[in-house]
Amino acid sequence: MWTFNDFPSGVVKQEYGADITPGWLDRVRQATVRLSNCTASFVSSTGLMLTNQHCVAACLDQHSGGGRSLLDDGFLARSRGAELSCGAQLADVLLETRNITEQVRAAGRGLSEQAASEARKQTLSRLEQACEQDRARTRTGAPLKCETVALYDGGQYWLYRYRRYTDVRLVFAPERDIAAFGGDPDNFRFPRWSLDFALLRAYQANGKPAQTPDYFEINPAGPDAGQLVFVSGHPGATERMLTVSELETLRDVDLPGWLLRAAELRGRYIQFGKSSREAQRMVEAPLESLENAIKVHRVELEALLDETLLRRKRQEEAALRTRIAADPALARSVGDPWATIAKAQQVERALSLPYTFLEEGAGFNSRLFNYARLLVRAAKERTKPSVQRLREYGDPALPRLEQQLGAALPVHPELEKLTLSFSLERMRERLGADEPLVRTLLAHDTPDSLATRLIEGSKLADPAVRLQLWNGGAEAVARSEDPMIDLARRVDPAAREIRKRYEAEVEAPVSGAEQKIGQARFRLLGTSVPPDATFTLRLNFGTVQGWRENGEQIEPFTHLRRLFERDTGEEPFRVPPSWLAAKDALDPDSKFDLSTNNDIVGGNSGSPLIAADGRLVGLVFDGNLHSIASSFEFDPQLDRAVAVHPAIMLEALRTVYNATELLKELGWQ
Amino acid sequence: MWTFNDFPSGVVKQEYGADITPGWLDRVRQATVRLSNCTASFVSSTGLMLTNQHCVAACLDQHSGGGRSLLDDGFLARSRGAELSCGAQLADVLLETRNITEQVRAAGRGLSEQAASEARKQTLSRLEQACEQDRARTRTGAPLKCETVALYDGGQYWLYRYRRYTDVRLVFAPERDIAAFGGDPDNFRFPRWSLDFALLRAYQANGKPAQTPDYFEINPAGPDAGQLVFVSGHPGATERMLTVSELETLRDVDLPGWLLRAAELRGRYIQFGKSSREAQRMVEAPLESLENAIKVHRVELEALLDETLLRRKRQEEAALRTRIAADPALARSVGDPWATIAKAQQVERALSLPYTFLEEGAGFNSRLFNYARLLVRAAKERTKPSVQRLREYGDPALPRLEQQLGAALPVHPELEKLTLSFSLERMRERLGADEPLVRTLLAHDTPDSLATRLIEGSKLADPAVRLQLWNGGAEAVARSEDPMIDLARRVDPAAREIRKRYEAEVEAPVSGAEQKIGQARFRLLGTSVPPDATFTLRLNFGTVQGWRENGEQIEPFTHLRRLFERDTGEEPFRVPPSWLAAKDALDPDSKFDLSTNNDIVGGNSGSPLIAADGRLVGLVFDGNLHSIASSFEFDPQLDRAVAVHPAIMLEALRTVYNATELLKELGWQ
């Protein structure tokens, strides 16, 4: 997960004989797009963007309703005018990066630790603001977005300048049955047959399509097995720098606790969904995201339970400590941050249950409760100076909070009762019926009866009511008789108390110690290893590869023929009618999905897979099961990225969807 | 968990000054009763037995129906004639134990390993049969039951002779709301307020109450804090001799996999139960047992994830290996069973998923499927000589199998669909949609549609249909068009294949190696440590003790007052009307439950807590959360047994239930 600034072109040249020039890097950078939580890439000079269907689900949903579901049915704009605006979707293109480490360091020099941290923060804000005001530098006059980025736990600071497109429109998406063929059972599996692709278009402020001379030509032939391929995108977050004691806390406490709760909630959702067609629709989205998270965390737990991973981590940790010890000055300045972290882990374990249930909301799983807590806390926090508030209520955050409160998101009372009753019941089980808050809340109630009364009695599903309380401030919130506001008021003292302890005794020492380790590591290793993922632009290289599983070789390509063989006629293995109708016209030997050993992680969804010749040869949408554990450590033997093959995209647009105009724009006709 | 033969009376004398004489031990042994899966004890000379309410649930259920639920309402026989027969309940009293180690050893001497094992088995059967024919030796002519017992993994063999009562009747049980006050949230918790007691009576073959001169007098004052107390009973099974590699398999594979499935099933049950009052009743029993198992396995997993337990186990293992190595002859005969077991663990891990889903039934969670598999397998197995069959289909097992098939247990189709669909769905997720059997079964189905077709189409809910197939043998089963029989036929080849591998590559080497370790340990340590629990009679000593939790001292007694304070009016914290009505007449300071540091485990439920003076001072019904981990290792600092205090039993019988005759029989009036 290399940054474009420190990409090891020399290694690529040496190992594969490919020339990755600065010009190649610039073109790839400018053709790669950051969406809200995915990656996309330009595939025409007029702003057409390729990404995953699952990355545009919110836009499809936005245009559904009244019996029509674009998620189910797919969408094709047969003309520019028919393209559908994707409300909240942004598209950012990284224009420039500037190393500001020296400026940030200088700001804190000679000051106390606390004052230095404050001075650094101010410097970062100042640099961001100055950068954004510099509008003149974009050719199109599109708004600029500037963000500072800390790499290597503060070993480096950078200023990233993006061109931001705020007008993004939906051009094409296939039906969900083919985009997500295989559903949860196939999620993170390979061999795979998912057509997880969609097309968007970026528009300029003047309503004209963006001019994007740097775009990827798509090569429908795709790559060969073993061929060198690159992934350019925005890996979200990795945890490869966690210490062994932190990994052990994840393994022993966080992951098992989360998984047990999530598995039960999954069961409740599924059973609820069987009660009616409407219930089925209600749980669809939350169940899908829950099942994805369960798979991720289950495999993470399995990886941590496999002693080989932790053994390697122990060895790495010991090796780094040995290198630090060999430099007495460094050793003195670093101290023993591992011991600090290990000690804090003991506190984290002890606080885990009350912190998770009371403060992190595992005891109050409800949208209405979240609104209520936000209102109750904001009312109190806004009476203080910004810097003294809980961090999520600082002045810069307030507009977004107000926007959240005002947004008319659907609230399903039956689902709210389900999740709230479930979480109250588990809180009572894990904290005990005699825990003071539990005892008070359930003094004359079952979890069910309390949840029912709260959800049926609360008016917070109405954005107007929420905004009234927001605008009314502390007084309005104190006077409110809304039962959910009342619950949030009652929970708040205990929740704040445990949070205070958690921040003071876990977060603060851990984050300070992590920075010390990160900076020492950076001092010793520099940019010879890539920094942890931060949802900023990265590039990596790999090859088209299957892998060996239980002594069997998994081939890196799948073919269309097998899709039809796997059709059960029932979700999630149902080939949609459009494909059944086109079956005879389709080439059964067409390649469908492929696997590569590129190092990817969530956020890379929608990333272009690029050949050394600069052409796009695949669209990353998933990884194999093993790749989930790459959060902790990338294993090139087993971890695989999974991509849609360009051949099947061409087949789909041409033979199934007859998308003539798009084919022309993509140079395919 | 000492046997009565090797009870360390000397230690008790030295530490507590108490004289535990052979006479005392004989009296306690003859006053202790083994029920089907619990313990009881005689509390009058006319066969009255004290045990837990949860141990008599099957009998209460048997007499419920038609709108009347003895589980909910409780029961009191106001005369002998009103006592209710508990159909399947047996009551065994241990009369005599005989060490037969030499005879068993001699049988195998000079033979090959296989022939020796066969000769030992035959000797054990012969000794059991000879013992049972010796009826003359019971005074009452009651049937005798003889069982051989292997202690110390075959370090010792014993012959245990029981007097068996087959006519057991229900005398008293309180309402479930008070017997199980606190339900699942309070299960394995202390402080606690559960009146988990019931009374049964043993009858002789002539229909007269059993004569039981050896019985416990109950001391309503109970024990003092710190007082020496004994638990006599039948601890079911402990796993204290597992090797570290076996514990790691439990931690890494078995427990997490089971817990994730169980948690989801719990969620499905709970949500299903909310759909109607009838559904609620249907899931009650399976949900209760599932929740109990979830708590047990969750705490076991937590214990194994806590590095301190495994560290001690590693040290113990190393110490034993050092002692073995110090004796060259022993070392030669023992070899390296730890390596054998560790190697087999690798196979176990690799086979775990298919073995669990295909053979152990995690993929086919359905009573009807279990019947179908039993019929399909029995039909095939019964064509072979007994010794060549799968072990559960040997000749001695056939009568029980036939009885199972003929028993009219309720089958709830809606619940069957739920569990079968759930298990098929998880099997598809974990084995993959392309696993050959999964693919065939779900070629044109969802887990729901397949489960529905199978459950609605099968006639196996009818005992007559099952017995017809049983009696019809292989031909009838082969001809059957019952869809569940068809499923069992289709699953069987793959299931048998994986079982065969599992038995050959995991079970056989592990069990052989465990015996080697057990025998070596016994050679070195003899009876200075107690053997693992085997649901045979054991006695241990401890004291009335609370413990420290998070820096706070938990007191060893609870009092009635707090029961009423914890009343929410809602299940499972609902004090029943009988107690609310009697509230003013009850002494709020009456002791209710108590905790001791005796070493107990499932099977000890219903065990008498006995003072050194031979009087009963409590009724064991549970342990604290920590005690769950005593499956692996008993920790006297934290593990606590939880018992009903005799004072509250007296208060209940006198003030709430006005059980005049019983009070007289117990010497309380």
Chain A nearest CA to B262, separation (Å):
8
Q: Is the pLDDT of residue B310 over 90?
A: yes
- Using pLDDT thresholds of 50, 70 and 90, give the confidence band for residue A137: low
One domain for residues A215 and A313: no
Residue whose pair of structure tokens reads 């189409």 in the numeric block? B457
The torsion angles phi and psi of B356, rounded to 5 degrees, stand at: -65, -45
Say if residue A251 is in the same domain as residue A211. no
Q: Are residues A470 and A574 in the same domain?
A: no
How far lies A403's CA from each of A63, A360, A389, A399, B325, in Å?
Answer: 20, 22, 19, 6, 73
Note which residues in 177-236 of chain B have CB less than 8 A from chain A: 182, 184-186, 189, 191
The shortest C-alpha distance from A429 to chain B (Å) reads 5
A277 at interface of B, judged by CB pairs closer than 8 A: no
Distance CA A4, CA A375 (A): 42
pLDDT of residue B368: 98
Q: Which chain B positions have a beta carbon within 8 Å of A306's beta carbon? A: 252
Measured CA distances, B4 to A237, B9, B228, B599 (Å):
61, 10, 18, 15
**Does a structural domain hold residue A271?**
yes
**Confidence band, pLDDT 50/70/90 cuts, at residue B37:** confident
Residue A121 near chain B (CB below 8 Å): no
Strand extents, DSSP E, B152-270: 156-165, 167-173, 198-203, 228-233
Inform me whether the C-beta atom of residue B268 falls under 8 Å from chain A C-beta atoms: yes
pLDDT at B207: 93
* A160, part of any domain: no
* Phi and psi torsions of B547, nearest 5°: -160, 170
Copy the structure tokens of residue B220: 């309503």
Do A512 and A579 lie in one domain? The reply is: no
Q: Do A444 and A304 share a domain, yes or no?
A: yes
DSSP for residue A392:
G
* A19 lies in some domain: yes
Provide the pLDDT for residue B190. Answer: 97
Alpha-carbon distance of A41 to A615, in angstroms, equals 12
CA distance, residue A430 to nearest chain B CA (Å): 8
**CB-closest option in A302, A432, A444 to B569:** A444
CA B78 to chain centroid: 31
Q: What is the four-CA torsion angle of B568, B571, B577, B582, rounded to 10 degrees?
A: -60
Claim to verify: residue A303 and residue A438 sit in the same structural domain: yes
Residue B51 DSSP class? E
Residue A115 has pLDDT above 90, yes or no: no
pLDDT band of residue A278 (cuts 50, 70, 90) is very high
Give the A window 527-556 contacts with B, CB below 8 Å. Answer: 550
How far apart are the C-alpha atoms of A501 and A508, rounded to whole Å?
10
Interior/surface letters A643-665, b for 16+ CB within 10 angstroms, e for the rest: bbbbbbbbbbbbbbbebeebeeb
| Average pLDDT value over all residues in chain A | 94
The answer to whether position B474 is within a domain reads yes
Smallest Cα distance from A348 to chain B, Å = 14
Residues of B in contact with A570 (CB under 8 A): 444-446, 449
pLDDT exceeds cutoff 80 at A598: yes
For A56-73, the pLDDT digits (tens) are 999 998 898 888 899 999
Q: What is the pLDDT of residues B242-276, one digit of tens each?
A: 999 999 999 999 999 999 999 999 999 999 999 99
User: Where residue A42 sits, what CATH number does that domain have?
Assistant: 2.40.10.120
**Does any CB of chain B come closer than 8 Å to the CB of residue A98?**
no
CB-based contact B271 A266, cutoff 8 Å: no
B361-415: per-residue pLDDT in tens? 999 999 999 999 999 999 999 999 987 899 899 887 898 899 999 988 889 999 9
Q: What mean pLDDT value characterizes chain B?
A: 94
Angle at A263 between CA A258 and CA A269, to 5 degrees: 120
CA A190, CA A188: separation in Å to the nearest integer?
Answer: 7
Q: Give tens-digit pLDDT for A530-540.
A: 999 999 999 99
Pinpoint the alpha helices (H) of B503-591. Answer: 508-525, 560-565, 577-582
Structure tokens at B281: 């009743």
Assigned token pair, B190 = 């202390």
Contacts of B302 in chain A (CB under 8 A): 252, 256
> How much of chain A is in helix, strand and coil states, percent to nearest 5?
55, 15, 30
Q: Cβ A434–B566 below 8 Å, yes or no?
A: yes
Fill in the amino acid letter for A345: Q
For tokens 């057991």, name the residue.
Answer: B168
Domain shared by A430 and A501, yes or no = yes
Distance from CA of A631 to the nearest CA of B (A): 19
| 434-493 in chain B: CB under 8 A from chain A | 434, 442-446, 448-449
What is the tally of structural domains in chain B?
A: 1
- Token pair 């459950």 is found at B455
What pLDDT shows up at residue A136?
54
Q: Which residue of A has its CA nearest to B429?
A: A185
Q: Which of residues 342-371 of B touch A (CB under 8 A)?
A: 350
Give the per-residue pLDDT at B138.
55
pLDDT of residue B1: 87
List CB contacts (< 8 A) between A252 and chain B: 302, 305-306
Q: How far apart are CA A496 and CA A499, in angstroms?
A: 5
Of B186, B256, B443, the CB nearest to A568: B443
Tell me, what's the pLDDT at B345? 97
Decide which of A521, A542, A561 is a domain's last residue: A521
Distance from C-alpha of B133 to C-alpha of B116, rounded to nearest angstrom: 26
pLDDT for B139: 57
Contact B237, B532 (CB under 8 A): yes
Residue A139 confidence (pLDDT) above 90: no
Domain boundary, last residue among A521, A542, A574: A521
**Which chain A residues touch B429 with a CB distance below 8 Å?**
184-185
- The band of B137, judged by pLDDT with boundaries at 50, 70 and 90, is low
Half-sphere exposure of B129 (CA within 13 A, CB side): 7
Q: How many CA atoms lie within 13 A of A427 on its CB side?
A: 29
Closest in A259, A432, A570 to B446, CB measured: A570
Residue B409: what pLDDT? 84
| CA dist., res. B504 & res. B527, Å (int) | 32
Helices (H), A586-654: 646-651
Indicate whether A409 and A335 sit together in one domain. Answer: yes
Query: What does the pLDDT average to over A426-437?
Result: 97
In angstroms, the separation between the Cα of residue B279 and the nearest Cα of chain A is 13
| Alpha carbons B643 and B194: distance in angstroms, whole number | 9
- Same domain membership, residue A182 and residue A71: yes
- A36 DSSP 8-state letter: S
Q: In three state form, how does the secondary structure of A134-147 look?
A: CHHHCCCCCCEEEE
Instruction: Quote the pLDDT of residue A423.
Output: 98
**With contacts defined as CB-CB under 8 Å, which chain A residues touch B444?**
568-570
Q: Is the pLDDT of residue A87 over 90?
A: no
> For B186-204, what is each residue's pLDDT tens digit?
999 999 999 999 999 999 9
> How many Å lie between the alpha carbon of B424 and the closest alpha carbon of chain A?
12
Same domain for A307 and A422, yes or no, is: yes
d(CA A268, CA B437): 28
B599-637 pLDDT, tens digit each: 999 889 999 999 999 999 999 999 999 999 999 999 999
pLDDT at B140: 56
Residue B419 lies in a domain: yes
As a whole number, mean pLDDT of residues B26-43 equals: 96
Residue A168 burial by CB count (10 A; 0-12/13-18/19+): exposed, middle or buried? Answer: buried
Contact indicator for B645, B192 with CB cutoff of 8 Å:
no
Of B185, B266, B302, the CB nearest to A267: B266
Q: Is residue B27 part of a domain?
A: no
The answer to whether the beta carbons of residues A248 and A568 sit under 8 Å apart is no
CA A298 to chain B, closest CA, distance in angstroms equals 9
Is there a domain that residue A185 lies in? yes
Query: Which element (helix H / strand E) includes B541?
Result: strand B538-543
Q: Which helix (H) or strand (E) holds B125?
A: helix B113-133
- Dist. CA B49–CA B31, nearest whole Å: 9
Pairing outcome for strands A616-623 and A608-611: antiparallel
Question: Does B139 fall in a domain?
Answer: no
Question: What would the mean pLDDT of B333-341 be, rounded to a whole number?
Answer: 95
Q: Residue A141's pLDDT is what? A: 60
Instruction: State how far the alpha carbon of B186 is from the alpha carbons of B182, B194, B593, B649, in Å.
Output: 5, 9, 13, 20
Distance from CA of A568 to the nearest CA of B (A): 4
Supply the DSSP symbol for B143: P
φ, ψ at A2 (rounded to 5°): -80, 145
Size of interface A-B (CB pairs under 8 A): 123
- Does A257 share its domain with A234? no
Query: How far apart, in Å, are the Cα atoms of A174 and each of A53, A459, A579, A584?
Result: 7, 38, 10, 19
Q: Enumerate the residues of chain A whose CB falls inside 8 A of the CB of residue B268.
A: 267-268, 270-271
> Is residue B136 over pLDDT 70?
no
Q: How many whole angstroms separate alpha carbon B591 and alpha carbon B575?
A: 17
Please identify, among A501, A521, A541, the residue that sits at the C-terminal boundary of a domain. A521
Please indicate, yes or no, whether the overall pTM of this predicted structure exceeds 0.90: yes
Judgement on whether residues A512 and A550 belong to the same structural domain of the protein: no
pLDDT of residue A117: 78
Quick check: A608 pLDDT over 90?
yes
The residue segments making up the domain with residue A607 are: 9-90+166-239+532-665
Query: Which residue in chain A has the smallest CA separation from B424?
Result: A185
Name chain A contacts of B363, Cβ cutoff 8 Å. Answer: none
Backbone dihedral angles phi then psi of residue A645, each to the nearest 5 degrees: -80, 140
For residue B67, count CB atoms less than 10 angstroms from its CB and return exposed for 0-12, middle for 13-18, buried for 19 or more. exposed
CB contact under 8 Å between B260 and A265, yes or no, is: no
